[in-house]
Amino acid sequence: KRARRPKPCSLRELELTVSELGLGYDSDETLLLRYCSGKCLEHRQNYDLTMDHMVRTGFKKKGRKDKVSNGPCCRPIAYEKQFSFQDNKHLHHTVRNMSAKNCGCV
């Protein structure tokens, strides 16, 4: 049985209502939420390999308890500027930088 290859960092989509965003708005309008998910294994630098080692053994030997991320993270590198909608009380709202436009390993 082959090991499953992890999916690389990419933009994903999910259809949901504004109420489901958890931002405190009550609106049944449906939108497409875009977000970033996946692995960034191929983007590791010597810095990341070193940090991986340091967190496991190196820091302890030197008396440090620092927590350091040991690899790049899959995060938005650009956001959709704004999204406007009408809530269930017929008021209009605009939220900024709520949905991802592009993803990157940073």
Partner 1 sequence: AEKNCNPCLDAAKACNLNNSCKRQRSAYIATCSKEDTNKGEVCSQKRCHKALRQFLDRVPPEFSHRLLFCPCQSEGCAERRRQTIVPECSYKDKEKPNCLEHRRVCRQDSLCRSRLADYMVNCEVTPQTVSTCPNQDNHQACLASYARLIGTEMTPNYVDNSFSNWTVSPWCSCKGSGNQEEECSNFLREFTDNTCLRNAIQAFGYGLDNMQNK
Q: Using CB under 8 A as the criterion, which residues of the chain lie in contact with partner 1 when the complex forms?
A: 15, 28-32, 82-86, 90, 92-94
Quote the least distance from Cβ 97 to partner 1, whole Å: 13
Task: Please say which residue, 56 or 93, places its beta carbon nearer to partner 1.
Answer: 93
Burial (0-12, 13-18, 19+ Cβ within 10 Å), 45: exposed
Q: From CA 106, how far away is CA 99, in angstroms rounded?
A: 18
Backbone angles phi, psi at 6, to 5 degrees: -65, 145
> Least distance in Å: CB of 93 to partner 1?
8
Q: Looking at beta carbons only, is 34 or 40 nearer to partner 1?
A: 34
